[in-house]
């Protein structure tokens, strides 16, 4: 395959406001990404079906397909048998292309190999050391081992999702209160170790991107994805664009204070939303109900609640109330159509959803109450998100900033 020829390309969503700004060069890229997205969603698919579904001319589709075949993004597969006339060759994504992805968390990291179709080929977890340089060296070791297990794959890049904020210009990790890492050049460190291009972003942003690539977000232009685990993170889609803000710090709803007299937060302030609504908060509520000696994880607590432990149920319900209450800031700032929830709390979804919905309904100032739903396959959402980070390298925003002819 002509790897050196291949333009890095994302399976991207086309935004109309952006499409109107696009030059013809960029428009060609948009059409290319549109065709690639259709192949991903409808594969195996023929050129004529692609023309019909995309609304593009058959000749345009054929040229794009030539490019995508040459670049190695797709390949030709089965020929449709028909009694007479043309026998179209069907097209698929090239699943020889793979990515290495990492879901980095305070205690544990999961490293995996995922193909272009989002299928996991290998997955391993490891303990995360508190020293960032040593932790990343171990993660790189693990990535190398996984890469060696899949020598027949061509690796497109590496994606890392983490509980923190990465400056989009310097790519340095600048804010990671729960990871307790100070400013660290994580992207450079992994690139040096692996010799592959690395994309790093906040776990909530990554999960939101993953929902856009692999999920069911058609037509949604305003959405917020909230991760509820050790802390609370959020990714924001506003008017069809992902919002990063200055230094990539947009979406830190978890650090808006709900009660200045509340518990101390990892960010240094007191009473932030996440001190009341994270998994750690639920465990604290359970301890306060007379279970201080128990060393539980959030999954233990959810299991206890399922088994009928009244205090465990109360702790999780209190957390759910506080999740809903903190969403007021999200409603006021973004007015989303959809609020997606990822993380530990999705394991207790049926218990928490009526409580969060009730809070939401009481908080909406005007207009409809947003739809609330958990992300699909929450346990791998951050890994899929990390894959989406690699796939989205060429988003519209990047095109506008540094559009260059493809060649
Ligand atoms: Zn805080």
Q: Residue for token digits 């997606």?
A: 340
| Ligand 1 centroid, distance to 90 Cα (angstroms) | 52
The 10s digit of each residue's pLDDT in 236-265 is: 999 988 898 999 899 999 999 999 999 999
Other Cβ atoms closer than 10 A to 199:
24
Residue 393: band (very low, low, confident or very high) from pLDDT cuts 50, 70, 90: low
Residue 26: per-residue pLDDT: 61
User: What would the mean pLDDT of 154-158 be, rounded to a whole number?
Assistant: 93
Other Cβ atoms closer than 10 A to 273:
30
pLDDT at residue 392 greater than cutoff 80: no
The 10s digit of each residue's pLDDT in 198-213 is: 999 999 999 998 888 7
Q: 72-81, 327-336, 389-398: which range is least confident on average?
A: 389-398
| Ligand 1 centroid, distance to 352 Cα (angstroms) | 23
pLDDT at residue 7 greater than cutoff 70: no
Residue 294: per-residue pLDDT: 78
Whole-number Å distance between alpha carbons of 110 and 99: 14
| Ligand 1 centroid, distance to 384 Cα (angstroms) | 27
Q: Could you tell me if 53 and 33 are in contact, meaning their C-beta atoms sit under 8 angstroms apart?
A: no
User: What would the mean pLDDT of 20-31 be, rounded to a whole number?
Assistant: 60
Over the chain, what is the mean pLDDT?
Answer: 87
pLDDT at residue 354 greater than cutoff 80: yes
E strand map for 105-215:
108-115, 120-127, 154-162, 165-166, 173-175, 198-202
Q: What is the pTM of this model?
A: 0.82
| Ligand 1 centroid, distance to 274 Cα (angstroms) | 7
Angle at 3 between CA 388 and CA 402, to 5 degrees: 60
Residue 2: per-residue pLDDT: 37
User: What would the mean pLDDT of 341-363 be, rounded to a whole number?
Assistant: 95
| Ligand 1 centroid, distance to 341 Cα (angstroms) | 19
| Cβ neighbours of residue 259 closer than 8 Å, sequence gap 6 or more | 271, 276
Residue 396: band (very low, low, confident or very high) from pLDDT cuts 50, 70, 90: very low
State both tokens at 357: 């919905």
| Ligand 1 centroid, distance to 255 Cα (angstroms) | 4
| Ligand 1 centroid, distance to 148 Cα (angstroms) | 41
| Ligand 1 centroid, distance to 76 Cα (angstroms) | 51
Structure-model confidence comparison of residues 209 and 10, the more confident one:
209
Whole-number Å distance between alpha carbons of 105 and 227: 12
| Ligand 1 centroid, distance to 201 Cα (angstroms) | 19
pLDDT at residue 301 greater than cutoff 70: yes
| Ligand 1 centroid, distance to 266 Cα (angstroms) | 6
pLDDT at residue 369 greater than cutoff 90: yes
Residue 25: per-residue pLDDT: 56
| Ligand 1 centroid, distance to 257 Cα (angstroms) | 7
pLDDT at residue 76 greater than cutoff 80: yes
| Cβ neighbours of residue 270 closer than 8 Å, sequence gap 6 or more | 257, 260, 261, 262, 263, 264
pLDDT at residue 31 greater than cutoff 60: yes
Residue 16: per-residue pLDDT: 42
| Ligand 1 centroid, distance to 166 Cα (angstroms) | 17
| Ligand 1 centroid, distance to 291 Cα (angstroms) | 25
Helix 279-286 to helix 310-334 angle (10° resolution) is: 150
Q: 12-16, 181-185, 215-219: which range is least confident on average?
A: 12-16
| Ligand 1 centroid, distance to 264 Cα (angstroms) | 8
- In angstroms, what CA-CA distances link 253 with 193, 202, 220, 243, 345? 34, 13, 21, 13, 17
* Alpha-helix runs per DSSP H in 195-309: 203-214, 273-277, 279-286, 298-306
| Ligand 1 centroid, distance to 200 Cα (angstroms) | 22
Whole-number Å distance between alpha carbons of 84 and 30: 35
Other Cβ atoms closer than 10 A to 339:
21
Other Cβ atoms closer than 10 A to 232:
30
């Amino acid at each position: 395959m002509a790897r050196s020829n291949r333009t890095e390309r994302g399976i991207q969503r086309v935004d109309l406001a952006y499409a109107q700004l696009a030059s013809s060069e960029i428009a060609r890229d948009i059409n290319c990404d549109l065709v690639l997205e259709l192949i991903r969603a409808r594969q195996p698919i023929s050129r004529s079906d692609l023309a019909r579904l995309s609304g593009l001319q058959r000749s345009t589709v054929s040229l794009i397909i030539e490019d995508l075949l040459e670049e190695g993004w797709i390949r030709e597969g089965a020929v449709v048998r028909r009694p007479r006339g043309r026998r179209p060759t069907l097209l698929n994504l090239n699943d020889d292309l793979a990515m290495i992805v990492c879901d980095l968390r305070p205690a544990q990291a999961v490293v995996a190999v995922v193909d272009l179709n989002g299928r996991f080929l290998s997955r391993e977890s490891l303990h995360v050391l508190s020293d960032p340089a040593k932790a990343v060296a171990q993660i790189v070791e693990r990535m190398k081992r996984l890469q060696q297990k899949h020598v027949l794959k061509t690796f497109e890049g590496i994606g890392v999702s983490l509980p923190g904020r990465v400056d989009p210009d310097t790519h340095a990790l600048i804010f990671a209160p729960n990871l307790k890492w100070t400013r660290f050049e994580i992207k450079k460190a992994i690139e040096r170790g692996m010799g592959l291009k690395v994309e790093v972003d906040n776990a909530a942003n990554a999960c939101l991107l993953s929902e856009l690539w692999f999920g069911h977000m058609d037509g949604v232009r305003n959405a917020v994805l909230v991760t509820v685990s050790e802390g609370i993170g959020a990714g924001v889609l506003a008017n069809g664009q992902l919002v990063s803000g200055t230094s990539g710090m947009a979406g830190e709803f978890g650090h808006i204070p709900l009660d200045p007299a509340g518990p101390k937060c990892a960010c240094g302030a007191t009473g932030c939303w996440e001190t009341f609504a994270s998994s750690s908060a639920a465990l604290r509520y359970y301890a306060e109900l007379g279970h201080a000696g128990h060393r539980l994880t959030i999954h233990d607590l959810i299991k206890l609640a399922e088994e009928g432990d009244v205090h465990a149920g109360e702790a999780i319900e209190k957390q759910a109330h506080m999740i809903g209450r903190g969403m007021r800031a999200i409603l006021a700032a973004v007015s989303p159509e959809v609020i997606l929830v990822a993380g530990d709390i999705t394991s207790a979804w049926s218990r928490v959803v009526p409580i969060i919905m009730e809070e939401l309904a009481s908080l909406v100032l005007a207009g409809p109450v947003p739809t609330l739903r958990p992300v699909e396959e929450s346990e791998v959402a951050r890994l899929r998100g990390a894959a989406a980070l690699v796939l989205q390298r060429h988003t519209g925003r990047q095109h506008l900033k540094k559009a260059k002819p493809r060649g």
